[in-house]
A and B are shown apart, each in its own frame.
Chain A
Amino acid sequence: MKRREFLGGAAASGAVLTMPAFISGCGIQQATAVANKTPENPFMDWFGVDQATTAQVMSELSANGADAADLYFQHSRTNYLTLEDGIVSSANSTIEQGVGLRVVIGEQTGYAFTEDLTLPAMLAAAKTAAAIASGSRVVAPQAFNALGMGDLYKTVVPWSDVGIDRKLPLMKFVESQAKSMDEAVEKVAVYWADQDERVMIATLDGTLVTDHRPMTRVTVTVTARRGEEVQSGFSNIAAREEFGWYTEERLNTMVKEAVDRTMVLFDARRPPAGEMPVILASGASGILLHEAIGHGMEADFNRKGTSIYTDMIGKKVAEPFVTVVDQATIPRERGALNFDDEGNKAGRTVLVEDGILKSYLHDTISAKQYGLQPTGSGRRQSYKYAPMPRMSCTFMEDGPHTTEEIVAAVDRGIICETYTNGQVQIGAGDYTFYVKNGWLVENGKATAPIKDVNIIGNGPESLKRITMVANDARLDTGGWTCGKNGQSVPVSQGIPTVLVSKMTVGGENVG
């Protein structure tokens, strides 16, 4: 019997829990971060395969030659709950388990995965992936050196230990708070998600990385009615956190945001259409960085020459008070990672420093091509996908101005506060984001609420047009998910209040 009970097998260490715990939470057993200890034997404890099996599969994977190769074992369990019309009458749980096998030769990648973790199935998948190469066998490791686990999201009580009976009251609390905040609130829906994910990455150079990645998100949707008019809005909070993170205060802040964002829509209008100064409020406006520069700095686009930023490293791209960073090492952030999905240590990459373009986001393939160290930016949605360079937590550092100075500097423009989505064309540099809530600015003052406008600009042009940066940088608490080439990964973003002197604002009533 090669395989052992995946979760059950770990019961001895207390790291992971068995299924009845999901139904009725057994509370906090021990206030120690047991779940983040490197497992004694990750092969067996986490995935029920032994080291010799892993070495044998690696050997098959590199049988036709390889510059790099990895096995990405993953097990995730995600739980969803839905509250609508006052009751929680729908739950969903999803288990994804499998191993992704990758072999890299130069810029060529062979990839396969299997959900069957028996030796014959893994060997067959390795053979398939190895078919990309036609060289001679390289020496594969017989043993793997396990690195210690990171501590960015240490877990005391894993989600597998928290029962529905503990989640239901919180969802009901969110609903009742939303209903009590304004009598126009007609319907409230609450969506819960939590996830325990374990990955084990074995690489051709003999390194073994393990990571336990928790994630949770709560979303509240509010629908309100005034006479015949109906408006809806939402808010959510997300992090690599555990149950105790959901304090009443934190939930109340989220609910108030959702209700405020909804009620203001009854008075909100579309701004005038065309080019104008745009003030991006601190926090969620980090979407500007994600779209205007972040994607364009992912090195896969640059090594192929398809990004507008391909020839700009070392050049001045913004005013000296503009510094943009992608950092995976901020504890408990939704975009945080101890190790990336290639087993490289995740870190901090400065994209723009004092206005100068500094570094791309690299995975192993691009770093080799550029003769650099990887920046720990290789990420994948799951074992079903090969990794590629991605953002983690992208933000701008504080600047020399104040929010008051920025608003006062605008004669006629808008302030953008909340967003639903954005997109970018890597080559042309054109990017957009959709503004759900904002304000019209007239003569240096915010005057009237606006809603539902798309903003479009060009990345390098917008960077040059950042004329003021305030000193109120903060990260957004919302649950952002980034999609690229069909793969979704969780990310974070943040920014201080900034002024972009000119962007194109969607609007109505064009003359």
Chain B
Amino acid sequence: MSVDLKTRAAQAVDIAQKAGAQDAWSTVSQSRDVQFEYREGKLEKVKDTTSQSLGIRIYAGGRYSSHSTTDLTPDRLQDFIAEAVAITAALEPDEYRRITPEALFRNRPTADLDLVDTNVQALEREQRIAWCRALDEKSHQHEQVISATSGIYDGTQRSASASSNGFLDEQQSTYCWFSASVTLRDQGDKRAEDGFYAGGAHVEDLPDPEVVGAKALDRTVSRLGSEKGPTVKSSMVVDARAAASLISRLLGPANARSVQQDRSFWTPLMGEQAFSKKLTIVDDPLIVRGLASRRYDSEGISARALPLVEEGVVRNIYVDTYYGRKGDMAPTTGSPSNRVVRPGDHSLAELLSQVGEGVYVTSWLGGNADGTTGDFSLGLRGHMIENGKIGRPVGEMNVTGNLRDLFTRLELIGDDPYPYSTTLTPSLVFSDVDFSGA
């Protein structure tokens, strides 16, 4: 694309205004994504793509709509935006639908978050294949391997935004991920399966592919002979990787939309000691090289660290401009960035030792939660904790309860945050949890 992204975004805003919009906010995105997959010593799939799209939010006559297209041919884009403005007129007026006020983006940070690694952009086929080989070799080092698939996923994402009230900026980031998944022959027709993956904005932040391959195999080997665990009320230790998804579920309804729509168990918790004093969560978009770092969000709101929960007290939730206005809440940001759970000072081994007996969860299988009430029920895989140590592998079990209630019984926190996630969470320990199994 010859014209730069910022110019394209600004041109789209201009077209919208000429077509009758009072305000408009446009974002042009471009990405290059490369995927190499390798299986049993052979390259299985290569995908190499360049993609582009334009999104625009239109504010006209007290009305609002949003649109996106991958067809950026100039004359058709012109028609598309003119149509978008016309569609907006067919909707009902809503006083809360207004463009992001300038005050919310005026002083956005200028710090360099170091999100671009030119080494990622310069990656060659030979390097990717060498990494695949390393992953593949390590993940096959077991006689029961049926199949193991390795992958390298890398790319660059760029986006530029322009608005009718003076916003003009762009963000860019690179990513590179290693992944390996392994299937081992187990009892009867059963297969044990697991994997591991690691990624970051910079190649130098990744572990060696050999480490990822070996870890994938280790995790899978530990699943061999897994059986259904017991129906029991006991302590639950959630490993750091699985804890990230539990924290995501907890935070799922912690936003202005859910609160304004009366579908959030967080509604009565603002300012309250809602959870265990061990729990502190910050949304921090300004982590250097962070996987979800940014200087502004999708509405242009300036990035800043946002305390969500401090020692169990609810301080903030995610508030975008629309539901904020409608629900009388000050905007924070409508979309999560890096969510950081403050670590404790115990190693995983210490946590297991302190717990003594219980269930150690390494991954979830399905399940859901009701955001209105916090009631949840999740399938799990893991191990029994026996005499303070990791014991026999178990699966085909559920854990059931209420999220708010569960997090009042957060007893201990590990010192081992899982780094390859936008939710940075250490291992967590809960007491008196209901498990169902055999």
Cβ-based interface call for B45 (8 A): yes
- CB neighbours of A421 from chain B (8 A): 366, 368
Verify if A209 is at the interface (C-beta below 8 Å from B).
no
A132 lies within 8 A of B87 (CB): no
Closest to B79 in A: A19
Asked if A312 is an interface residue, CB under 8 A from chain B, the answer is yes
Find chain B residues with CB under 8 A from A131 CB. Answer: 46, 48, 125
A427 to B263, CA, bound (A): 37
Whether, in the assembled complex, B141 has its beta carbon less than 8 Å from a beta carbon of chain A, the answer is: no
A1 to B62, CA, bound (A): 40
Specify the main secondary structure of chain B where it touches its partner: strand
Q: Which residues of B contact A423 (CB under 8 A)?
A: 365-366, 379
- Residue from the list B53, B375, B435, B438 in contact with A510, Cβ < 8 A: B435
For A367-401 the 0/1 string (1 means CB < 8 A from B) is 00000000000000000101000000000000000
Asked whether B365 lies within 8 Å of A425 as measured between CB atoms, the reply is yes
Q: Is A274 an interface residue (CB 8 A)?
A: yes
Contacts of A120-175 to chain B: CB distance below 8 A: 125, 128-129, 131-132, 163-165, 168
Known contacts A89-B64, A187-B261, A454-B367, A112 near B49 by CB under 8 Å:
yes
Contact count A vs B, C-beta below 8 Å: 278
Asked whether, in the complex, the Cβ of A508 is within 8 Å of the Cβ of B401, the reply is: yes
B376 within 8 A of A: yes
In the complex the two chains form, is A112's CB within 8 Å of B368's CB?
Answer: no
Q: What 1/0 flags go to B29-52 for Cβ under 8 Å of A? A: 000000000010011111111111
Task: Give every chain A residue within 8 A of B401 (Cβ-Cβ).
Answer: 508
B66-110: CB near A (< 8 Å → 1, else 0) gives 111111110010011001101111111110010000000000000
Complex CA gap A114/B369 in Å reads 39
Chain A residues positioned under 8 Å from B46 (CB to CB): 109-111, 131-132
Which residues of chain A are within 8 angstroms of B369 by Cβ–Cβ distance? 452
**What B residues does A165 contact at CB under 8 A?**
90
Residue contact A454 to B379, C-beta cutoff 8 Å: yes
For the complex formed, measure the closest distance between the CB of B191 and the CB atoms of chain A, giving whole angstroms. Answer: 3
User: Which parts of A71-102 form the interface with B (CB within 8 Å)?
Assistant: 84-85, 87-98
Contact assessment for A88 and B370 in the assembled complex, using a CB-CB cutoff below 8 Å: no
- Complex Cα spacing A163 to B373, Å: 38
Partner of B193, one of A94, A189, A311, A425: A425
Interface residues of A in 275-330 (CB under 8 A from B): 275, 304-312
Determine if B398 and A273 form an interchain contact, defined as CB atoms under 8 angstroms apart.
yes
A305 and B368 contact, CB distance less than 8 A: no
Question: Within 8 Å CB of B398, what residues of A?
Answer: 273, 432, 453-456, 504-507
Subset of 6 A-B contacts with CB under 8 Å: A128-B48, A131-B125, A189-B261, A230-B263, A275-B438, A458-B396
Known: A87-B92, A274-B231, A275-B231; 10 extra A-B contacts, CB below 8 A, are A108-B43, A110-B45, A114-B49, A168-B92, A231-B373, A452-B370, A452-B377, A454-B378, A456-B396, A507-B436
Report, nearest first, the 6 A-B pairs whose CB atoms are least far apart. A427-B191, A432-B366, A89-B94, A506-B398, A273-B436, A423-B366
